[in-house]
Amino acid sequence: MKHIMNAFSRSLGLLACLLFGLMPLSSLAQLAPPPPAPQIKFDEMIHDFGRVRSGAIMKHAFAFTNAGNADLIIDNVLPACGCTTITEFTRVIPPGGKASLTLEFNSFSLQGEQIKTMLVKSNDPVQPNLVLQLKGVYWSPIEIYPLTALLFLPPHTDQKLSTTVRIVNQMEQPLKLEAPVSSVPQLTARIIEAKAGKEFHVVVDTVPPFAHKDIQATIRLATNSKEAPGIELNVVVIAQPELLITPPHMFLPVELPPVTEPYTISIRNQSKDAITLKDAACNAPGAKVEIREINAGKDFELVVRFSQEMAKDATQSFQITVNTSLPSQPQISIPVQFVRPPSALPHKR
């Protein structure tokens, strides 16, 4: 009986060897355990601060664990905007280890719902790129729209210009504003109460005559609120040139295509009188410049065609010039320069 059992066992062993010998290598690979790998697992992917007063320093630590069976390596952490910073963090986390990534930003000037994100790059083979989010609704006792009011001053004008700044009271207590005071005599301001105690429109006016130059000013308003006893409105007046040139500086790729498309430069005459343009030229080899009058005496285009010959020396700069009948600016000069794309820049050693 014993001999029979031994023979039966040897037969089963032989059969198993034959079966495994006939199995394809791919099937044998499936039976092998997977190689060790890290696994990043965050406690939360989105953190909501809720309602936050604007101006606070916001900070949150995203905790995570290496749930894998190999070292987890954090390659990089990239915030979506420059207003956020990442504090120091552990870059190598062993299996079962815990760590955190802390995102910090200043909520100054933030209003309404905001979302800040950061990209986490690691050696997790399944999810090498993860995006974390910080959410919040930011409010101020008194909100100002826009934060900086802009006025564009045309040349040779004594016409009064105006812009409006909206002030919204987010507090329960009704707001009262005192008469506005300007930091410069070239600007005045007046208040229109849109919603009693809740919303105000501050109209900022220029006071002609004035010099044709840029102005930075502050409009101050005292209030009845202990939370915000004073409000400051920023106003910038930008003096416009007589000739508005777009673009004022041309940048060309180092590798010009075999047949280059024409480039267009817009010239708008903002002076009182009509002008003429003539003698347009470019000192680049093979370049040609054509003048097109779009609106008689007021709007023009320079159509520029470049040749590949000028790209032989990409370090050289060129000029596009055109003569005008405007006494204050008899000639327009537009620099032309070659630039390399970021990927083509030489690496620093």
Whether residue 247 is preceded by a cis peptide bond, meaning omega within 30 degrees of 0, is yes
DSSP assignment of 305-339: E--GGGGGSTT--EEEEEEES-TT-SEEEEEEEEE
Q: What is the pTM of this model?
A: 0.59
What's the rounded Cα separation, in Å, for the pair 81 and 4? 79
- Choose among 198, 201, 199, 197: nearest CA to 189: 201
pLDDT of residue 112: 79
What's the rounded Cα separation, in Å, for the pair 65 and 40? 6
Q: What type of residue sits at position 243?
A: L
What's the rounded Cα separation, in Å, for the pair 79 and 223? 38
β-pair type (243-246, 263-269) = antiparallel
What's the rounded Cα separation, in Å, for the pair 277 and 283? 18
pLDDT of residue 1: 52
Q: Give me the phi and psi of 56, to 5 degrees please.
A: -75, 150
Q: What type of residue sits at position 54?
A: S
pLDDT of residue 201: 98
Whether residue 327 is preceded by a cis peptide bond, meaning omega within 30 degrees of 0, is no
What's the rounded Cα separation, in Å, for the pair 198 and 213? 36
| Tokens 């301001």 found at | 189
Q: Kindly state the DSSP code that residue 109 receives in the 8-state scheme.
A: T
What's the rounded Cα separation, in Å, for the pair 180 and 197? 16
Superfamily name and number for 40-139: Immunoglobulins (2.60.40.10)
Angstrom CA distances, 291 to 12, 20, 264, 322, 324, stand at 95, 83, 10, 9, 12
Those residues with Cβ within 8 angstroms of residue 99's Cβ, 6 or more apart along the chain or in another chain? 63, 64, 66, 74, 89, 90, 93
Domains 40-139 and 243-344 share a fold: yes
pLDDT of residue 121: 94
pLDDT of residue 211: 77
pLDDT digit string (tens) for 272-301?
A: 899 999 999 999 988 999 999 999 999 999
CA 275 to the chain's CA centroid: 39
What's the rounded Cα separation, in Å, for the pair 97 and 260? 58
CA angle at 52 for the pair 98 and 220, rounded to the nearest 5°: 140
Those residues with Cβ within 8 angstroms of residue 177's Cβ, 6 or more apart along the chain or in another chain? 167, 191, 200, 221, 222, 223, 231
* Cβ pair 328, 212 in contact under 8 A: no
Low-confidence ranges of the chain (pLDDT < 50): 8, 15-20, 22, 28, 343-349
Question: CATH says 142-239 is which class?
Answer: mainly beta
Domains of the chain, residue spans: 40-139, 142-239, 243-344
The helix/strand/coil state of 340 is coil
| Tokens 């900070």 found at | 59
Q: Does domain 243-344 have CATH number 1.10.10.10?
A: no
Angstrom CA distances, 51 to 134, 167, 226, 308, stand at 12, 20, 21, 58
pLDDT of residue 154: 86
Residue 228, by phi and psi: left (phi above 0), alpha (psi -120 to 50) or beta? beta
Q: Kindly state the DSSP code that residue 343 receives in the 8-state scheme.
A: G
